[in-house]
Amino acid sequence: MAKEFSFEEIKKYNDKKCTWIVINNDVYDVTPFLDQHPGGEEVLLEQAGKDATEAFEDVGHSSDAREKMKSFKVGTLVASERKPEQPKKSAVDWKETGESSDSSLKSWVIPIALGLVATLIYRLYFMS
Ligand code: HEM
């Protein structure tokens, strides 16, 4: 079974001597990879000791990169700190998320605005 780590522990490995990052709930020791990373060591050091899932997925790493990262895996996050796996980003996902949050906002704002307008009209009517 893979060894489990918590962020309490992972955040200690946040410098050049020891660089750990978390991607999709798995913990990677990328120290030996720092000077080989095609994206440079800076970006890895910036994420050191943290959850780098979003940064990693934003770059759209190749399947080669995903294959390579397996060799740096040292364990997984403890169950209580795991996040639901992020779906790989695509234009369609973005569009769908945008639309659903948009319409859920409208479903609140419109009835409330209508209620306020109705109350105003009612009060004006009976106060005049
Ligand atoms: C174990 C983890 C990682 C591995 C094995 C890895 C590997 C690679 C590889 C092989 C490439 C070349 C392009 C490709 O094949 O996709 C690449 C590019 C890149 N990586 Fe990573 N990477 C890792 C983590 C990260 C993280 C956490 C970031 C955070 C920002 C990052 C940022 C980048 C950037 C910006 C490039 C683009 C370089 C360019 O196109 O000029 N990588 N990485």
Intra-chain end-to-end CA distance of the chain, in Å: 77
3-class secondary-structure state, position 95:
helix
> What tens digit of pLDDT does each residue of 87-111 get?
665 545 555 555 555 566 667 788 8
Decide which of 1.10.1270.20, 3.30.70.1560, 3.40.50.620, 3.10.120.10 is the CATH code for 4-81.
3.10.120.10
Protein residue whose Cα sits closest to atom 11 of ligand 1? 38
Query: If we measure between CA atoms, which residue out of 11, 2, 15 comes closest to residue 78?
Result: 2
pLDDT of residue 80: 95
Domain extent listing, the chain: 4-81, 93-128
In whole angstroms, what is the distance from residue 116 CA to residue 110 CA? 10
> What tens digit of pLDDT does each residue of 23-65 get?
999 999 999 999 999 999 999 999 999 999 999 999 999 999 9
Which protein residues touch ligand 1 with a CB less than 6 Å away?
A: 21, 28, 30, 37-39, 43-44, 47, 52, 55-56, 59, 61-62, 64-65, 68-69, 72
